Structure 1
Amino acid sequence: MPSPQQARAQASAITSRGAVSRDDASPTSRLRALFDGPRLSPGQRRIAQYLIEHLTEAAFLSITELADRAGVSQPSVTRFAAAVGFSGYPALRERLQSIALSTLPGPHEADRANELQAAVDAEIQNLENLRRDLADPGRVVQVGRALSRSTPLTVLGLRISASLAEYFGYAARRIHPDVRLVTRGGSVAYDALLQAREAGGSWVLAFGMPRHARETLTALRVAREAGLKVALVTDLALGPLPDEADVTFTTGTGSRLVFDSYAAPGVMAAALLQAMTDADPERTQARLEKYERGAEERQFFLPD
């Protein structure tokens, strides 16, 4: 069973989400109060999502049955129970059974829709926080100018962060003459970083989203040792990754669903691109016009 401290924390979490009381809250709200506090791995989120969507059935499953239904291993279920504040799966199951038996029979389609809406609400809050951070755009403008002057410019994003790096790199190539994208770790990343420095590059723009890859940290250290400066977009304000960066832009990630979503980091990337375009407007205009001519000649895109 949860300790008295864990029970109080869980009750406080429910109150902070606006529930009148634990017994009056819907089953979905009560489960969210259990699962929203800790940062869960993607596998653990699968378990949480399965429990939310199948509470009346899942609350009475054995650990083997739950692992099979959720598509994870039995140790994963045990670790999940510990992550959300219980001594083991039996204690978690007892809590699930009390919720299932004392309230509504289980989540309906509307509950699942609300779960998705809650994910959107969380991302809206991340964007609101970013909006406040950009009230003074000075740092973004300054870093955008530095990235624009770095030739070559290296963009680093490993594992889950590769998608953000690819977006930034694709757009940056339209306005910058030499953008080098690094989405593979290990010696491949090290070679690319060292070669960029030897070619005259001065900055790396790195993306570090959860779960934070150890190889990202190593790559940032290699970049610093080589003499490159690092601008980092991450969800962390403190920790090993920001410690290795010259400038850190902290943006929240959406963690309500099985896999994170990146509304705020995407906007942050677009803001840095905007700052790069403003840093050298003549070069930007010339390159964009040249690209558009080539795209039209080769019919890259469908007609409007």
Structure 2
Amino acid sequence: MPSPQRARAQASAISSGKPVPEAEAAPTSRLRALFDGPRLSPGQRRIAQYLIEHITEAAFLSITELADRVGVSQPSVTRFATAVGFSGYPALRERLQSIALSTLASAPDAAEETRPNELQAAVDAEIDNLENLRRDFADPEQVIEAGRALSQSTPLTVLGLRISGSLAEYFAYAARRIHPDVRLVTRGGSVAYDALLQSREAGGSWVLAFSMPRHAHETLTALRVARRAGLRVALITDLALGPLADEADVVFASGTGSRLVFDSYAAPGVMSAALLQAMTDADPERTQARLDEYEQGAEQHAFFLKD
């Protein structure tokens, strides 16, 4: 049996959008084989039935969205994933996505000109993630408060390990334009511990951490070190629940695009930009002074091409 990521790679292979041969087993049969073995509680059976009936949509829901659709709690979804043999909901979702993608690829009677190909479907999924984020921003108070706290933390540590490093680098690069002391940590282990402890000793009060799937043990350990050192933690991740969220003072959950073999991060990127905006708004005088100083240096040293 291929690994979940290999299955995703096979299922999301780019094509012209034409129907492909049907999978060996019907999706319903594959799902029932997945769910029929374990002894499930009534609530877990409701989750299983919903997934069977709505696989092409349900496979791409966050744990919060799936719990809301079925009418159960988020911990119930996590327990269901464990009951059917997975380490947690992200691992179950990977398997469901491979089934859903093969279902979409083999759907009959789809008009070539209207049926989205794999790349279009990936964009559609990211649009859904952004729509969810837009709804979350209806009440921006949490973002405003977090931006104010991050702005006041000097130094401010930004942590992102493994694949989350790119998001952390983007945030740190921009934050340095408006904040006097931003410290980027993209290496785990003792290097991260040293950086976190030094940040606290230097007067820092907050660390902003990024953790995208697959969530790393070393990120969890680093957050625990930060908390023990007395740092508060703001976390941008894809799940509002779980061991990483348990170590955070504030969590911003932003869905990741998982229709292709490697995830995409449209919503976490916008979430990062929103926090940067909140930081600039928290201290407008400092922001303006630092941006003016940067522009003078950029002009003096010709950093950029003339438009």
Structure 1 length-normalised TM: 0.69
Distance 2:297 2:179 in 1: 16
CA contact (8 A) 1:55 1:107 kept: no
Q: Secondary structure at the match of 2:303?
A: coil
Residue 275 in structure 1 maps to residue 278 in structure 2:
yes
Counterpart residue number, 1:23? none
Kindly tell me the number of residue pairs found equivalent between the two proteins.
Answer: 234
**Deviations, residues 281-300 of structure 1 (Å, cap 9, x unaligned):** 00000000000000011000
What is the identity, as a one-letter code, of the residue corresponding to 2:288? Q
**Deviations, residues 212-270 of structure 1 (Å, cap 9, x unaligned):** 11111110000001000000000101101100000001111110111111111000000
Distance 1:85 1:49 in 2: 10
Quote the offset at 1:131 in angstroms.
0.7
Distance 2:263 2:97 in 1: 22
| Pairing partner for 1:163 from 158, 162, 166 | 166
Residue 240 in structure 1 maps to residue 243 in structure 2:
yes
Q: Secondary structure at the match of 2:12?
A: helix
Unaligned runs of 5+ in 2: 25-90
| Pairing partner for 1:136 from 108, 130, 139 | 139
Q: Secondary structure at the match of 1:232?
A: strand
**Deviations, residues 101-142 of structure 1 (Å, cap 9, x unaligned):** x958x998986x522111111111111111111111111010
**Deviations, residues 42-64 of structure 1 (Å, cap 9, x unaligned):** 333112224988944996xxxxx
Distance 1:266 1:175 in 2: 18
Residue 259 in structure 1 maps to residue 276 in structure 2:
no
Q: Secondary structure at the match of 1:128?
A: helix
Counterpart residue number, 1:198? 201
Residue 42 in structure 1 maps to residue 5 in structure 2:
yes
**Deviations, residues 177-229 of structure 1 (Å, cap 9, x unaligned):** 00000011111111100110011000000011011111111100000010000
Distance 2:166 2:264 in 1: 11
Please give the residue correspondences for 1:48-63 in structure 2 after superposition, counting only pairs within 5 Å: 48-50=11-13, 55-56=20-21
CA contact (8 A) 1:230 1:246 kept: yes
Percent identity between matched residues is 72
Distance 1:301 1:264 in 2: 28
Distance 1:258 1:47 in 2: 8
Change (3 A) 1:267 1:51: closer
CA contact (8 A) 2:211 2:236 kept: yes
| Pairing partner for 1:221 from 201, 221, 224 | 224
CA contact (8 A) 1:51 1:58 kept: no
Distance 2:190 2:285 in 1: 37
What is the identity, as a one-letter code, of the residue corresponding to 1:120? V
Counterpart residue number, 1:146? 149
What is the identity, as a one-letter code, of the residue corresponding to 2:302? Q
CA contact (8 A) 1:52 1:107 kept: no
Distance 1:161 1:151 in 2: 23
Larger Rg: 1
Q: Secondary structure at the match of 1:211?
A: coil
